[in-house]
Amino acid sequence: MNESDFIHALRQLVRHPGAQNLDDDCALLEIGTETLVLTHDAMAEDVHFMAMQDQADVAWKLITCNMSDLAAKGAEPMGVLLGYMLGPDDARFLAGLEQALTAFDVPLLGGDTIAGKDGQVLGLTAIGRATCRPVPTRSGARPGDILYITGPVGAAMMGYEALRDGTPADSSAYRRPTPLLAEGQLLAPHAHAMMDISDGLLLDSWRMAKASNVTIAIDAASVPVNAPEHRRADALRWGDDYQLLFALAPDCQPPVPAHAIGQVLEQGAGLLLIDGIAAEGPETLGYQHQPSS
């Protein structure tokens, strides 16, 4: 199975409305007057980070990718649970973990530690508290909405290539991204739909269109890109930028700096248009996990 097939099969096991049919990065649990926001991300060596990377940066990124999911729900972080496979430099991992927990003011609540072979695999569960209700999800985009992104894509791609090739270019966007927690909390009361850009702008826009059952039209030239212009198409498909993608009513101005990149069209289609041309499917739009051979 590839990633899409496996998630489709998992949906047959969903029994709780908080799972949102697995159409979102977060689960929502109503407890009294509060809504808990739960998310889990895993990272694998040579897929999400390089074997030669500073383990402090790996720890930082593990925290960030989960905090970014909370940011897309406008949630306030409450704590994290770590699944850790002992690796090449556990002391450096702990140093980076402390830095990230301090930077994002989130406590470590527990987890599990194991040993293994053939590459390090890490996991983190993050728990947050919704700061507004209803909580914005991927599925709320409405015809007429304007589609926005909080900042440029492509910086992580360029940082990855600099780190891979050992060039002096800045690689911090790939190594130590920043989750937009404050921006997410400001946007949450206004956004009809919101998610973070982790697997590529085009793929994640397609996912929003599918979850919302609408057509989303993107003007590729309007997307801010932090990469050479001849790499624009690559930047739109590369992930790890952790910007926020959101849909607002046309009469609503974003409460944070943002760029309008498209609009939401008719209901009932679940399509992505790129410069007026329909994307045939997710395979060429961004990163998807494939089974190992």
pLDDT at 88: 87
Please, what is the end-to-end C-alpha distance for the chain in angstroms? 11
In DSSP notation, 211-276 reads: HHTEEEEE-GGGS-BSS-GGGHHHHHH------EEEEE-TT---SS--EEEEEEEEES--EEEETT
Nearest-CA neighbor of 67 among 110, 19, 104? 104
Predicted pLDDT of residue 287: 62
Nearest to 178 by CA among 208, 199, 155: 155
Nearest alpha-carbon partner for 258 in 155, 151, 145, 138: 151
Rounded Cα gap, residues 26 and 49, in angstroms: 23
Q: 285: helix, coil or strand?
A: coil
Structure tokens at 269: 């289609």
**Per-residue pLDDT for the chain (293 aa), expressed as one digit of tens each?**
787 788 889 888 888 888 888 888 899 999 999 999 999 999 999 888 988 899 999 999 999 999 999 999 999 999 999 999 998 899 999 999 999 999 999 999 999 999 988 889 999 999 999 999 999 999 999 999 999 999 999 999 999 999 999 999 999 999 999 999 999 999 999 999 999 999 999 999 999 999 999 999 999 999 999 999 999 999 999 999 999 999 999 999 999 999 999 999 988 878 999 999 999 777 778 765 455 54
Q: CB 98: neighbour CB atoms within 10 A? A: 13
CA distance 100 to 246: 26
Q: How far is it, in rounded angstroms, from Cα 16 to Cα 239?
A: 30
Q: HSE-up of 81 (CA within 13 Å, CB side)?
A: 9
Closest CA to 195 of 184, 185, 19: 184
Please state, in angstroms and rounded to a whole number, the distance separating the CA atoms of residues 147 and 138: 12
Question: How many whole angstroms separate alpha carbon 194 and alpha carbon 71?
Answer: 9
pTM of the model: 0.93
Among the listed residues 236, 233, 192, the one whose alpha carbon sits nearest the alpha carbon of residue 214: 192
* Domains observed in the chain: 3-130 (3.30.1330.10), 138-284 (3.90.650.10)
**Rounded CA separation 131/120 (Å):** 35
Q: What is the reported pLDDT for 270?
A: 87
Q: CA-to-CA distance for 68 and 242, rounded, in angstroms?
A: 6
Could you give the maximum distance between any two Cα atoms of the chain, in Å? Answer: 54
d(CA 74, CA 181): 7
Q: Which residues contact 15 (CB under 8 A, 6 or more apart)?
A: none
Alpha-carbon dihedral of residues 42, 103, 193, 265, nearest 10 degrees?
-90
Report the pLDDT value the prediction gives residue 47, as an integer from 0 to 100.
87
